[in-house]
Structure 1
């Protein structure tokens, strides 16, 4: 879903309706008491989270009627944002972001002299839990106790702002928009927040690693082999195995003397080599490489030659020669 609305083209009711689709647990109140104001809104949603960017010229407040367990991030571009969190007010401007556990927030107010605006990301509970568990096994959003004010002047803050803008660009441009890429960017935002900003789990600098068993690593291997033509992430492999990402990495080092990503690349190269060497193969080398997850042809060719001592084209030529010999018999 993507909507691009403005007061020049759409009614205020359309604005409210679109906002309500992404945040059904919230309602908007205009602080001025007016029913119309100049505004611009871009709204989008994808797997695991929603994104919106709003500019307006009248102060307004968002009140939360339902306390659903979600994580919200608010990044002002201009003006100020005031959030009422557990009966106290936290105020920020464009030098900071707000990290909000939605059940703890009763209202958020947006204000400024003239035009003011912000970007908001709101993550579904499953997306937050998936990332949290991969970093701090057994942790929950409530136990994380995120500090509401995130400093955007820090290197991590600059990266957080850049990721928010990148998500907006990807959502807005149909040529770039893809559910998979947006989900990965959303996960990158969550990992950045939980690894680089203060929260109640920060003293767990080395998250507990549950020892992965050899059976679990074999299960991971089986999952990789069954899905190696898909754009797999470590989180997906870990979820399928029933362990965290760090335990997965530790288990591969212990039982396979490699990393999960290196192992995945190895079995993908094996699949490419087998297909190129087959007398039945009719696909060009680039298509075979793309089929098995290699998108950068230069890196692919170098890794292939390092693994097999010959170029992909040499393997394909031998396969075609074998096919020609079989036909001439």
Structure 2
């Protein structure tokens, strides 16, 4: 088996020269991935991966000629940032070159293939689609009206794209040297910065709204309503009550939210509550009850709450509460002299 080492901060590293072993390791980490040789050239690979909150950051170094096949995943996106060498990403009927100054974004709504012609070094991000949605909603202070759609190519030669490439290089060195994963706080900050730079560098269907120099002034009654919701977030509220607290009619309040927050007052309140629940679940003891936490923040019907939560965050509330990813126990056990892998623990 390839060299495998683990620690308790959602970190995995492995290296070797056998593509069959490489394929086996990847397929056990992410079901359905396959690696295929494309020539008789000798192959080498070194992979360092950190996974946290559903986001995988993978620093890879390859030599050889082979392809990696990824199955479709409607909830996951992949970002490829080249550092040295070239590769080709095939998605549906398109071939996207991953070369110097050009990153690639794959929404993974269909199967895709990464063709390596080494030597090659790159940083790969695998992240839940809802994470990008959540960050853009936070910037706009409003719910998105339609599914977030990104362009496939990232300009890494200037502006936020250049900053993204430089940060990717720093992260790659930090992971390959096995130092960055030892500092959860630092890793969290640089990962957050990378996602924000990605949103700025990669065109999408909300780019124009984000690039507005100034947001139109929000009416006082909309601000007042949001303030009132925050102050009473844990108890039941009606649209009529909120409107009366703001001194306007329910229709006026509805119109204000639709125009300036692109949603309704009650939908806005629901998102606020879901965000608060998620924050508490993320720091709660795994033995705590999802039902108790949900009811604490105004969700009386737990079944309906779970559906709303999954729609917004891409996972069940119980998964947020536990957040321990199980890794098959037989990875790396062929050589008794090497470390056995362990379940990835919360960082």
TM-score in same-fold range (> 0.5): yes
User: Corresponding residue for 1:26?
Assistant: 33
User: Corresponding residue for 1:117?
Assistant: 121
- 1:15 corresponds to which of 19, 22, 31: 22
Query: Map of 1:91-170 to 2, 5 A cutoff?
Result: 91-112=97-118, 115-136=119-140, 137-139=142-144, 143-169=147-173
Distance in structure 2 (CA, Å) of the matches to 1:150 and 1:101: 13
User: Corresponding residue for 1:218?
Assistant: 231
1:182 aligned onto 2:187: yes
CA displacement at 1:187 relative to structure 2: 2.8
- Structure 1 unaligned residues grouped into runs of 5+: 221-237, 245-329
CA displacement at 1:152 relative to structure 2: 0.9
1:3 aligned onto 2:12: yes
Report the number of matched residues.
223
What TM-score, normalized to structure 1?
0.57
Of structures 1 and 2, the one with the larger relative CO (CA 8 A, separation 6+) is 2
CA displacement at 1:53 relative to structure 2: 1.9
CA displacement at 1:154 relative to structure 2: 0.7
Secondary structure, aligned partner of 2:83: strand
User: Corresponding residue for 2:299?
Assistant: none
1:63 aligned onto 2:84: no
Distance in structure 2 (CA, Å) of the matches to 1:62 and 1:156: 29
- Structure 2 unaligned residues grouped into runs of 5+: 1-9, 234-268, 276-347
Distance in structure 2 (CA, Å) of the matches to 1:143 and 1:84: 23
Distance in structure 2 (CA, Å) of the matches to 1:101 and 1:25: 17
Secondary structure, aligned partner of 1:79: strand
CA deviations on 1:120-169 (whole Å, 9 max, x unpaired) are 111123423321321343338x8332111111111312221233234445
User: Corresponding residue for 1:87?
Assistant: 93
CA deviations on 1:231-267 (whole Å, 9 max, x unpaired) are xxxxxxx9983499xxxxxxxxxxxxxxxxxxxxxxx
Closer, same or farther in 2 for the Cα pair 1:25/1:33, shift >3 Å? same
User: Corresponding residue for 2:50?
Assistant: 44
* 2:19–2:37 contact (8 Å) kept in structure 1: no
User: Corresponding residue for 2:272?
Assistant: 241
* 2:50–2:181 contact (8 Å) kept in structure 1: no
CA displacement at 1:12 relative to structure 2: 4.8
* 1:37–1:57 contact (8 Å) kept in structure 2: yes
User: Corresponding residue for 1:194?
Assistant: 199
User: Corresponding residue for 2:6?
Assistant: none
RMSD: 3.6
Which structure's CA Rg is the greater one? 1
What TM-score, normalized to structure 2?
0.54
